[in-house]
A and B are shown apart, each in its own frame.
Chain A
Amino acid sequence: GAVVSQHPSWVICKSGTSVKIECRSLDFQATTMFWYRQFPKQSLMLMATSNEGSKATYEQGVEKDKFLINHASLTLSTLTVTSAHPEDSSFYICSARDRRNDEQFFGPGTRLTVL
């Protein structure tokens, strides 16, 4: 089946620094990728929708200047958490929609801890 990878799987950073998370579709092309955030013992909340070659669409309440999304190719989207703070600590999960059949596949997630 289709595979989506995320890198890194786990990252610890100091408050004020920026962290980049990569989401790659390994064996298919994804015109659309989605970024979700999951707090402990809670559900996944959609942060933004990323379309290849265009600006991301952010959900209400998500700061676009803080969570920078770049979808430079049909297989790669990146999420950069700028000037991270402890409250940004969370599990970030991406998903990619296969352009061939519109199915959506999830990455394994990235655990971000901001000290």
Chain B
Amino acid sequence: AQSVTQLDSQVPVFEEAPVELRCNYSSSVSVYLFWYVQYPNQGLQLLLKYLSGSTLVKGINGFEAEFNKSQTSFHLRKPSVHISDTAEYFCAVTPNQAGTALIFGKGTTLSVSS
């Protein structure tokens, strides 16, 4: 079975500061990794995903994440955040096989203030 741990439940930062949201996973098989963002009362929007290849993945809105197999991590980073980045961020994992659901972490609330 797979599991995801998001180490920080809340991350407050000031506008234009860098941010890193941490995600670790556990799995006995190879996995695909994802980061989603959820704005209040809305569904999920895919930020980026790692399926294979380069371990540094670039996504939308200036976010990027690095897959580290040895540390079983997939941390999300942005060099300079905006007020509009305030949202809930979910890390998710799924085994790289067809027909399997995503397993989500508990989420990290990113609060950007001026």
Contacts and interface: CB of A to CB of B under 8 A. Distances in A.
Nearest to A111: B41
Interface stretch (A13-21, A38-46, A71-79): A38-46
Contact of A43 (B98, B99, B101, B107): B107
Interface string B74-114: 00000000000000001000100011011111110100000
Contact of B43 (A32, A34, A104, A106): A106
A97 interface: yes
Interface in A57-115: 93, 95, 97, 102, 104, 106-109, 111
Interface residues of A, number: 22
Contact of A93 (B43, B94, B103): B43
Interface of B is mostly: loop
Nearest to B109: A41
B4 to A, nearest CB: 9
A107 B43 CA distance: 6
Given A106-B44, A108-B43, A32 B99 contact: yes
Contact of B44 (A49, A51, A93, A111): A93
B42 interface: yes
Interface in B3-58: 36, 41-44, 46
A93 B36 CA distance: 14
A109 B42 contact: yes
A49 B90 contact: no
B98 A42 contact: no
Contacts of A107: 43
Given A97-B99, A104-B102, A44 B90 contact: yes
15 contacts: A31-B99, A32-B99, A34-B102, A43-B105, A44-B44, A45-B104, A46-B103, A49-B99, A93-B43, A93-B44, A97-B98, A97-B99, A107-B43, A108-B42, A109-B42
Interface of B: 36, 41-44, 46, 90, 94, 98-99, 101-107, 109
